Amino acid sequence: MIDAKRFDQDRFTVRVLDETADGRALAPLFHAEAFPGQIELAYLRDPDPIRSWAAEGVALRVFVLSETASPEHVLGCGTCVVREVWVGGERRRVGYLAGLKLLPEWRGRIRFIAALYRWMIETTRPLVDLWYTTILSENEAALRLLARPRPSIPLYVHQGRYRVHLLPAGAGRRLLPGRRSELPAGWTLVTRNEACVAAAALAAGRDLADVAFPPGGLFALMDAPGRPAACLHVVDQRALKQYRVLRYNGAAAWLQNVPAPLMRGLGLPPFPEPGSTVPLLSGALLLDRNTVLHADVANAILTRLLEAASNFAAGCGATMLGIGAMEDSPEDRLLAGRRGIRYTSELFLVDPERDAGRLLQDPWLHVAWL
């Protein structure tokens, strides 16, 4: 334990843990929460949430809430994952505020949330230069709260919308209806070390040098002169975090019964059985922003990269790719041409000084694997 603080006349204690702590006692907080919608999901970080968060950054602070008289019974938690990113052309440390959880029976009963939030910011201030967070676009209550700035909480500066495209892992060969596009002559697909060099060059071309890509499948396309044109990176994170299907509602309840081959024929990922974990790989697509591509060429690029990623996913036993991009970016517009399932999150800069003067640079890279 790094630190601790008591709240509400000492009735509650919040302990601060780092990445070396055992976090298995936090897992029930994730199992107690469901994300509603046509596909109702539980977002888990089994078996150990702290180990899961630690894999996403260079340092970690976890705030664990319990009653002072019963420290072994965890009521809630919040997390700051410290990551190195680019802000205004400079390498900076930022804190991703995540994992804000509270047991359902305690919601509405904790009256010191604002004070706790301020303490989280002050505790992590020596580690980071600024903070950011994401909120599901369907979480209308939280978004309404942030739409009206309050003196008791930091200012939330909207950075854009992040969209995840869920595509069937076997659909790499499926193009826009009625059209088959081919790569220009001389273009080649590279993997492993060559792909790492290509991805680094694409990142550096957007002032994002030294970007670290987690271990996984990395694929890049080189044009005829040997310049990188695009890369796709997919990662299997299921040992650290999982999406578990609880139930299907509405149209999804009908699609659940459609045979998997027919779903793939429709260009949709097959739906897992309720109670099972979604066999998903997470991914990020990066295009060369200095080259204007004809639509057919761009489509052929994505097809070739998805084919390579699909083969990689098959080797991992996955049937679905979740590829994220900032809304209306070239990557997002290209992915939008494929049939699939989408969900979006709102990305916010958390500004305790309330000056709203800073923005994340190419923020999709910072949230792609969170």
pLDDT above 80 for 217: yes
Cβ atoms of residues 172 and 314 within 8 Å: no
- Under 8 Å CB-to-CB from 90, ≥6 apart: which residues? none
The mean pLDDT value for 110-125 works out to 91
Rounded CA separation 37/28 (Å)? 21
Give 176's pLDDT tier (boundaries 50, 70, 90).
very low
CATH number for the domain formed by residue range(s) 3-160+347-357: 3.40.630.30
Q: Locate the domains of the chain by residue range.
A: 3-160+347-357, 165-344
pLDDT of residue 179: 47
**Strand 228-235 relative to strand 242-248: parallel, antiparallel, unpaired?**
unpaired
The more confident residue out of 217 and 90 is 217
Same fold yes or no, 3-160+347-357 and 165-344:
yes
Read off the amino acid at residue 154.
P
pLDDT above 80 for 204: no
The mean pLDDT value for 27-41 works out to 91
pLDDT of residue 267: 75
Rounded CA separation 285/22 (Å)? 34
The answer to which of 119-133, 213-227, 340-354, 355-369 has the lowest mean pLDDT is: 355-369
The more confident residue out of 203 and 360 is 203
pLDDT of residue 175: 40
The C-alpha angle 90, 94, 99, rounded to 5 degrees, equals: 155
The answer to which of 51-65, 188-202, 276-290 has the lowest mean pLDDT is: 188-202
Residue burial 77-95, b: 16+ Cβ < 10 Å; e: rest: bbbbbbbbbbbeeeebbbb
Residue burial 24-37, b: 16+ Cβ < 10 Å; e: rest: ebbbebbeeeeeee
Side-chain-side CA neighbours of 33 within 13 Å: the count stands at 20
Task: Please name the residue that has the structure tokens 């680094």.
Answer: 200
The more confident residue out of 33 and 152 is 33
The mean pLDDT value for 115-136 works out to 91
Give 207's pLDDT tier (boundaries 50, 70, 90).
low
**Strand 12-17 relative to strand 3-7: parallel, antiparallel, unpaired?**
antiparallel
pLDDT cut 70: percent of the chain above it: 89
pLDDT of residue 335: 93
pLDDT of residue 294: 83
Rounded CA separation 332/244 (Å)? 25
pLDDT of residue 178: 38
Read off the amino acid at residue 113.
I
pLDDT above 60 for 2: yes
- Both tokens of residue 157? 């500066």
pLDDT of residue 220: 93
pLDDT above 90 for 290: no
292-327 pLDDT tens trace: 778 888 889 999 999 999 889 988 999 899 999 999
The end-to-end CA distance of the chain, in Å, is: 25
Domain spanning 165-344: which CATH class is it, in words? Answer: alpha beta
The mean pLDDT value for 255-282 works out to 87
Q: What is the mean pLDDT of the chain?
A: 86
The mean pLDDT value for 181-196 works out to 87
Give 206's pLDDT tier (boundaries 50, 70, 90).
low
pLDDT of residue 194: 86
- Under 8 Å CB-to-CB from 117, ≥6 apart: which residues? 78, 153, 154
pTM above 0.85, yes or no: yes
Of 187, 199, 181, give the one whose Cα is nearest residue 286: 199
pLDDT of residue 173: 43
Cβ atoms of residues 30 and 41 within 8 Å: no
The answer to which of 50-54, 74-78, 144-148, 301-305 has the lowest mean pLDDT is: 144-148
pLDDT above 70 for 205: no
The mean pLDDT value for 148-170 works out to 84
Rounded CA separation 304/316 (Å)? 19
Task: Please name the residue that has the structure tokens 């099972």.
Answer: 276
DSSP 308-346: HHHHHHHHTT--EEEEEEETTSHHHHHHTTS--EEEEEE
> DSSP 3-state assignment of 65?
strand
Q: How far is residue 34 CA from its own chain's centroid?
A: 17
